[in-house]
Amino acid sequence: MIKHHPHAELLQAHALGELPLSMSIAVAAHCALCQECQTQIAKLTEQAAKLVFVSSGDDEVQHNASNEIDVVDNAPWQQMLSNIMALPESTMSEPYIESSVTVSHRNTRYQIPRVFRQHIAQPWQQIGKVSRMRFDMDEKNTRASLLHIEALGEIPQHTHKGFELTLLLSGEFSDSTGHYVAGDFIILDGNTQHSPITQTGCLCYTVLDAPLYFTKGISKLLNPIGELIY
């Protein structure tokens, strides 16, 4: 059972599309594994849509009518409108999408959330029982990767300057603070030391921080997380 979820404000920022790619993928992948957070995101998205699209208080009908006149009188908008309507309907029919994609490593195939679809073509790099597939996100100091640890593998004790996010995708691991299962979303701040060990092997998505994001307002979201989770 998943015990560790993204912080409420992180979910909110995700619904608004305010997180960088690496973190958006993490939250989306967690939601693909966690019904509870998925429901929460749906609610937050609906609220965000209301906030953006539903005008507060004033008469909707009148509001629309005046906008309509705007469009009619405004040549560039008229032009855009007719350009759009000149396009044919998309040939895409009712989409039938699988919820997961497969990533293979060392003869094992893992089904992971579909959000990783466009990122898993990178090569694995292996040192002992630990392998890493670094994603190409182009986010300055942020490094996002898949991390694979074979059975009985261990990551040496480490700390980070910023934060470290681990989303467990498959298998299990433990560290001094607890035991984790697939779907657990764990954020550690720079002060926490840990050395995860896995009995049966595991596959994780990890994001190592960019100090840059801390200076840009997301710090507010990430700073309290360490305390909240542990």
Partner 1 sequence: MENFQSHLAQNRYDRQLSPPIEMAMENDNHNLSADKHITDIDPLVSAIIKVANQRDKAAFGYLFSHFMPKIRAFGLQRLNQQGLAMDLVQETMTTVWTKSHLYNADKGSVATWVFTIMRNQCFDMLRRVQHNREDAFGDDIWPLYDVAVSQDNNQDHKLTAKLLVHLDALPLAQRQVVQGIYMQELTQQELADALKVPIGTIKSRLRLGLEKLKSFLETQHD
Contacts 24+ apart (CB under 8 A), 156-160: 156/195, 157/193, 157/194, 157/195, 158/193, 158/194, 158/195, 159/190, 159/191, 159/192, 159/193, 160/188, 160/190, 160/208, 160/209
**CB-wise, 50 or 179, nearer to partner 1?**
50
Q: Looking at 1, 75, 84, 127, which residue binds partner 1 (CB under 8 A)?
A: 84
Residues in Cβ contact with 111 at an 8 Å cutoff, skipping those fewer than 6 apart: 100, 101, 102, 170
CB 185 within 8 A of CB 5: yes
DSSP 57: S
Give yes or no for residue 36 binding partner 1 (CB under 8 A).
no
- Contact region with partner 1 (CB under 8 A), list: 2-10, 87-95, 155-163, 178-186: 87-95
d(CA 78, CA 64): 16
Q: Looking at 56, 91, 107, 215, which residue binds partner 1 (CB under 8 A)?
A: 91
Q: Looking at 76, 123, 128, 156, which residue binds partner 1 (CB under 8 A)?
A: 76
CB 165 within 8 A of CB 207: yes
d(CA 173, CA 2): 13
Give yes or no for residue 217 binding partner 1 (CB under 8 A).
no
Could you tell me the smallest distance in angstroms from the CB atom of residue 97 to partner 1?
A: 5
Give yes or no for residue 62 binding partner 1 (CB under 8 A).
no
Q: Looking at 101, 120, 130, 181, which residue binds partner 1 (CB under 8 A)?
A: 101
**CB-wise, 1 or 97, nearer to partner 1?**
97
Could you tell me the smallest distance in angstroms from the CB atom of residue 187 to partner 1?
A: 19
Give yes or no for residue 216 binding partner 1 (CB under 8 A).
no
**Could you tell me the CA-to-CA distances from 39 to 11, 28, 44, 84, 170 in Å, in that order?**
11, 12, 9, 33, 22
Could you tell me the smallest distance in angstroms from the CB atom of residue 27 to partner 1?
A: 8
Residues engaged in binding partner 1 (CB under 8 A)? 16-17, 21, 24-25, 28, 32, 42, 45-46, 48-50, 52-55, 64, 67-68, 70-71, 76-77, 80-81, 83-85, 87-99, 101, 114-115, 117-118, 138-139
